Amino acid sequence: MPVATRPRSPSPSPPSSKKAKLGQDCHRHPALYGILPLGNALGRTSILPTSLGILSRLPHELLLHILSLLPAPSLLTFSAISKGAFAFASYEAIWKDHYVERAQGRLQGWRGSWRKSYISRFGHVPEGMTDWPSDDVSCSGVFSDILYQPQLCASLPLAHYFSPKRHNIPRHAVSFLSREEFARLYAAPNEPVILTGALDTWSGYSDPSKRWTLDSLAARFPDATFQAEALACTLSEYAKYARDCAGEDAPLYLFDSAFVESTRGELGEEYRVADVFGEDLFSVFGEERPNYRWLIIGPARSGSTFHKDPNSTSAWNAAVQGTKGWVMFPPSVLPPGVYVSADEGEVTSPMSLAEWFEGYFVEAWRRFGLGGKGEERGKMRVGVQREGDMVYVPSGWWHLVVNLSPSIAVTQNFVSRHELASVLTFMRDKPAQISGFKAPPELSASACMDLDQEDEVDPYRAGLYERFVGLLREKEPALLEEARERMSPRREENVRKTENREAAKRREDEVVATKGSAFSFDFDLDLDEEDQGE
Ligand SMILES: O=C(O)CCC(=O)C(=O)O
């Protein structure tokens, strides 16, 4: 699943300077070490000039950046200098990077923060200091927006954005929905829906002896490991993290595509694909097909920043436990605050979920929500997926998901006849963005070729569209023909790139053909193919 990039440490400046108001929701999580936003410095004395000396003249972003370049032991030494140094040297994003770098891909021994987990796993614990690394340091008198921002985000309430008056993703009981109705109402018009009652036939949901919870799964599969972003972990390690991560602005999200295999197939038996979704045409690729099913587990506030699903597939997402808030935009409407490259290959959402809600939600809803004007009205969709609900995410829709309570979900991506034309168009026009396919060994070498030309696509991916067409011609000829009629015309830009490649290839062939003879073409005398048709 392509997830929009998150900022690495140090994270960007807050959208605006914030003044913490005591007694408000945002103070449910105590101000870490007593650090407060810059707005609170008015009329008070900052300890930074005495605490940091000349370093206090640096912009806080720059100081954090410099600290992020220090090795962990030096950072620890720096943190012992003064309270101000401690405040900066305890910035969690830096410690997360150090942890991930040293952890050899394993989450182990979570101690409530990345700094503490790093120190207790890799650092030196002074003799006799059982409570080391202590959190018992008061940095009152440190006023800094950038230091305060993550704790602010980690405590901003998010549920109120999903008030029922905004719900405009329809809900439909799956038991009253035939495959034809689903196709007519949702799949053909490419419209999202929340299907209720869709998990009633899942033993992992309805059978109390099998009901999936983090604890029950951890007990059943104590040794199985699962991927949580860059770190693998057992479920009991993840449960330890999830229970004690209140300070995390963007909690580590368990998102694992091998859960069926790593549970010896058992979890695969305990859920089923709803009949309404019909066929999955990527199955024609057999073993080579891209990853398509994920177990998703996360604490409240974890989730997925804005993205479109890979290869233009559609997806369903089923909540076995917990509640998820969804914000969606149709393929043609770029969500406010999200930036994409011209070909949509790079998606940057330079903020955490809480920052997006804080900075963009209200304005986005004013413009694209139910009170919006003209064509923009109603384009933004907001919905709540409750335990036992399944969300249908149509091909190409932007979506952001936030767990409003600790949650366990399964998601599957698929290609039915309804999105086949979009998937084929995507594979033909954007081969460099095709993701997740498992190249057979004899072809994977070419997929890893070092390609220096921007337009160049590795031969494996470049050939996938034709292979898909070939497989469909063999196995589903009628669906292929129907989809080809609906495909968008080839993008001009791609035609030009293909023509350029073909022209370059022709020239190479000519050179090869003339090598060894007394005569050869002089490239400098040749017309550049860019100029030829102009
Ligand atoms: O966080 C989630 O549950 C949403 C997952 C998602 O959007 C995806 O798999 O594309």
pLDDT above 70 for 427? yes
User: Which atom of ligand 1 approaches the CA of 317 most closely?
Assistant: 3
DSSP H helices in 53-125: 60-68, 72-79, 83-89, 92-102, 114-122
CATH number of the domain that residue 177 is part of: 2.60.120.650
Query: What is the rounded distance in angstroms from the CA atom of residue 275 to the CA atom of residue 17?
Result: 51
Q: Are residues 184 and 259 in the same domain?
A: yes
250 Cα–ligand 1 center, Å: 15
- Residue nearest to ligand 1 atom 8, measured at CA: 1
Atom of ligand 1 nearest to the CA of 298: 1
Domain annotation covers residue 518: yes
Q: Is the Cβ atom of 389 under 6 angstroms away from ligand 1? A: no
Residue 499 lies in a domain: yes
Count of Cβ atoms closer than 10 Å to residue 283 Cβ: 13
Q: Are residues 53 and 125 in the same domain?
A: yes
Closest approach atom of ligand 1 to CA 411: 9
Distance 338 CA to ligand 1 centre (A): 17
Are the C-beta atoms of residues 37 and 20 closer than 8 Å to each other?
yes
Positive or negative CA dihedral for 362, 365, 368, 372? negative
**What is the reported pLDDT for 344?**
83
Q: Whose CA is nearest to atom 6 of ligand 1?
A: 304
Q: For 125-129, 277-281, 428-432, which range has the lowest pLDDT when averaged over its residues?
A: 125-129
351 CB contacts (<8 Å, ≥6 apart)? 7, 12, 305, 337, 359
CB of 325 closer than 8 Å to CB of 419: no
Q: How far is it, in rounded angstroms, from Cα 257 to Cα 8?
A: 24
Among the listed residues 248, 217, 246, 247, the one whose alpha carbon sits nearest the alpha carbon of residue 233: 217
pLDDT of residue 123: 83
Mean pLDDT, rounded, for 332-360: 89
Residues 44 and 188 in one domain: no
CATH number at residue 29: 1.20.1280.50
- Domain range for 489 is 455-532
Q: Is the Cβ atom of 297 under 6 angstroms away from ligand 1?
A: no
CB-ligand 1 contact for 412 (6 Å cutoff): no
301 Cβ closer than 6 Å to some ligand 1 atom: no
The H-or-E segment that residue 399 falls in is strand 398-403
Which pLDDT does position 110 carry in this prediction? 96
Is ligand 1 within 6 A of the CB of residue 385? no
Same domain for 123 and 89?
yes
Residues 101 and 164 in one domain: no
Q: What would the mean pLDDT of 458-473 be, rounded to a whole number?
A: 95
Ligand 1 proximity of 82 Cβ (cutoff 6 Å) = no
Closest listed residue to residue 386, CA positions, set 325, 329, 437, 327: 325
In which band, very low, low, confident or very high, does the pLDDT at 322 lie, cut at 50, 70 and 90? very high
For atom 7 of ligand 1, which residue has the closest CA? 304
Q: How many whole angstroms from 318 Cα to the centroid of ligand 1?
A: 10
Domain count, the chain: 3
Query: Which has the closest alpha carbon to 405: 298, 316, 502?
Result: 298
Using one digit for the tens of pLDDT, what is the confidence trace for 77-102?
899 889 999 999 999 999 999 999 99
Is there a single domain that holds both residue 41 and residue 85? yes
- Regarding the beta carbon of 399 and ligand 1, being less than 6 Å apart is answered yes
User: Is the residue at 439 inside a domain?
Assistant: no
Cα of 304 from ligand 1 centre, angstroms: 6
Q: How far is CA 75 from CA 11, 31, 43, 64, 118, in A?
A: 18, 22, 31, 11, 12
pLDDT of residue 485 exceeding 50: yes
pLDDT value for 125: 67
Taking the centre of ligand 1 as the mean of its atom positions, its distance from the CA of residue 248, in whole angstroms, is 19
Ligand 1 lined by 309 (C-beta under 6 Å): yes
State whether 409 and 490 are in the same domain: no
Q: Is the CB of 462 under 6 A from ligand 1?
A: no
pLDDT at 115 over 70: yes
Residue 452: which pLDDT band, with cuts at 50, 70 and 90?
Answer: very low
User: Pick the residue with more confidence: 149 or 126?
Assistant: 149
- pLDDT reported for residue 243: 96
User: What is the reported pLDDT for 490?
Assistant: 80
Asked whether residue 16 carries a pLDDT value surpassing 60, the answer given is: no
Q: What is the mean pLDDT of the chain?
A: 86
In a domain, 496, yes or no: yes
| Domain closes at, from 423, 445, 471 | 423
Q: Which of 107, 133, 154 is the last residue of a domain?
A: 154
Q: Ligand 1 center to residue 411 CA distance, Å? A: 7
* Rounded (5°) CA angle 345-346-348: 150
The answer to whether residue 126 scores a pLDDT higher than 80 is: no
Per-residue pLDDT reduced to its tens digit, 20-60: 443 333 334 456 889 999 999 999 999 999 999 999 999 99
Residue 404 C-alpha to ligand 1 middle, in angstroms?
14
Whether the pLDDT of residue 507 is over 90: the answer is no
Clarify whether residues 198 and 80 are in a common domain. Answer: no
If residue 411 lies in a helix (H) or strand (E), which one and from where to where? strand 407-414
Neighbours of 221 (CB within 10 A): 19
Would you place residue 127 in the very low, low, confident or very high pLDDT band (cuts 50, 70, 90)? low
Is 334 contained in some domain? Answer: yes
Choose the weakest-confidence range: 28-42, 134-148, 303-317, 365-379: 28-42
Give the end of a domain, one of 407, 423, 439: 423
How many angstroms separate the Cα of 225 from the Cα of each of 106, 214, 239?
9, 13, 13
Residue 70: pLDDT above 70?
Answer: yes
Prior bond to 10 cis, omega within 30?
yes
Question: Is 443 a domain residue?
Answer: no
Question: For ligand 1, is residue 1 a contact (CB within 6 Å)?
Answer: yes
Closest Cα to atom 5 of ligand 1: 304
| Range of lowest pLDDT (95-109, 208-222, 442-456) | 442-456
Whether residues 98 and 165 share a domain: the answer is no
How far from the centroid of its chain's Cα atoms is residue 472's Cα?
A: 31
Question: Is residue 227 located within the same domain as residue 333?
Answer: yes
Shared domain for 379 and 397, answered yes or no, is yes
Does residue 321 sit within a domain? Answer: yes
Are residues 233 and 363 both part of a single domain? yes
Task: Give the rounded percent of residues in the chain with a pLDDT score beyond 70.
Answer: 82
* CB of 424 sitting under 6 A from ligand 1: no
- What is the sign, positive or negative, of the torsion defined by CA atoms of 176, 178, 181, 182? positive
Q: What is the pLDDT of residue 449?
A: 47
Phi-psi group of 37: left, alpha or beta (phi > 0 → left; psi -120 to 50 → alpha; rest → beta) = beta
Q: How far is the CA of 361 from the centre of ligand 1 (A)?
A: 19
Q: Which residues have a Cβ under 8 Å from the Cβ of 191 and sit 6 or more positions away?
A: 170, 185, 394
Report the separation in Å between the CA atom of 421 and the middle of ligand 1, taken as the mean of its atom positions: 23
**394 within ligand 1 shell (Cβ under 6 A):** no
Split at pLDDT 50, 70, 90, the class of 269 is very high
Detail the DSSP E strand segments found in 271-345: 293-298, 303-307, 314-321, 324-329, 339-340
In the prediction, which pLDDT does 505 show? 59
3-state secondary structure 10-54: CCCCCCCCCCCCCCCHHHCCCCHHHCECHHHHCCCCCCHHHHHHH
In a domain, 1, yes or no: no
Instruction: Please answer whether residues 274 and 195 qualify as being in contact, where contact means their C-beta atoms are separated by less than 8 angstroms.
Output: yes
Each residue's pLDDT tens digit, 133-147: 677 788 999 999 999
For the residues 189-212, what does the mean pLDDT come to? 97
What pLDDT is stored for residue 131 in this prediction?
A: 60
